Structure formats: C-alpha cells, structure tokens
C-alpha cells in the first residue's frame, strides 16, 4: 500500500492487528472519517489523481532510461 491507497482506512498498530485476529464480532474496525460525503469524494479523487501522476512519472522515467522498453516487452 502506498500513501494514496489507504486514505479511508486507519492503520492499526501491531497489537491492534494481533487483537483483530480474535475479534470475531468485527468490533474493532475503524475508518477515517470526513465531515461530508463531498469532502470524502474530493479527498478520494485527489488521491487517485496524485497516484496517477506518480504512475505516469514513473513510466516516463522508465521510457527515458530505456527507450526500447516497448519493443522488449511486446506481448502480442
């Protein structure tokens, strides 16, 4: 998981993770909250856009470093 994918989920500590193994009733589930649904949508969409920009930058860097990448990875 990167910095963008866990936006709505609280990250448990080690001991919380261990205790969830025996949490049969799922009483320990915890989520990050937003003030409104519009704010939650905005934050999620913003995280998606940032992740996409990061992926495109990584792909661009790969193509600059290895211009023959597309020819080497032809899957047709």
> One digit per residue, pLDDT tens: the chain, 76 residues?
566 666 656 666 787 777 777 777 776 666 667 889 898 888 889 988 998 999 999 989 988 888 787 676 655 5
pLDDT at 4: 64
Inside any domain, residue 4: no
Quick one: three-class SS letters along the chain?
CCCCCCCCECCCCHHHHHHHHCCCCCCCCCECCCCCHHHHHHHHHHHHHHHHHHHHHHHHHHHHHCCCHHHHCCCC
Inside any domain, residue 6: no
Q: How many domains in the chain?
A: 1
Please tell me the pTM assigned to this model.
0.55
Q: Could you tell me which residues are beta bridge partners of residue 9?
A: 31
pLDDT at 10: 62
The residue segments making up the domain with residue 26 are: 14-67
Q: Which residue has the tokens 């470093």?
A: 65
């Amino acid at each position: 998981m990167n910095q963008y994918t866990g936006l709505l989920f609280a990250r448990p500590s080690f001991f919380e993770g261990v205790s969830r193994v025996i949490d049969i009733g799922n009483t320990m589930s915890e989520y990050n909250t937003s003030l409104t649904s519009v704010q939650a949508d905005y934050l999620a969409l913003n995280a998606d856009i940032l992740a996409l920009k990061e992926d495109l930058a990584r792909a661009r860097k790969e193509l600059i470093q290895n211009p023959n990448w597309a020819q080497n990875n032809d899957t047709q």
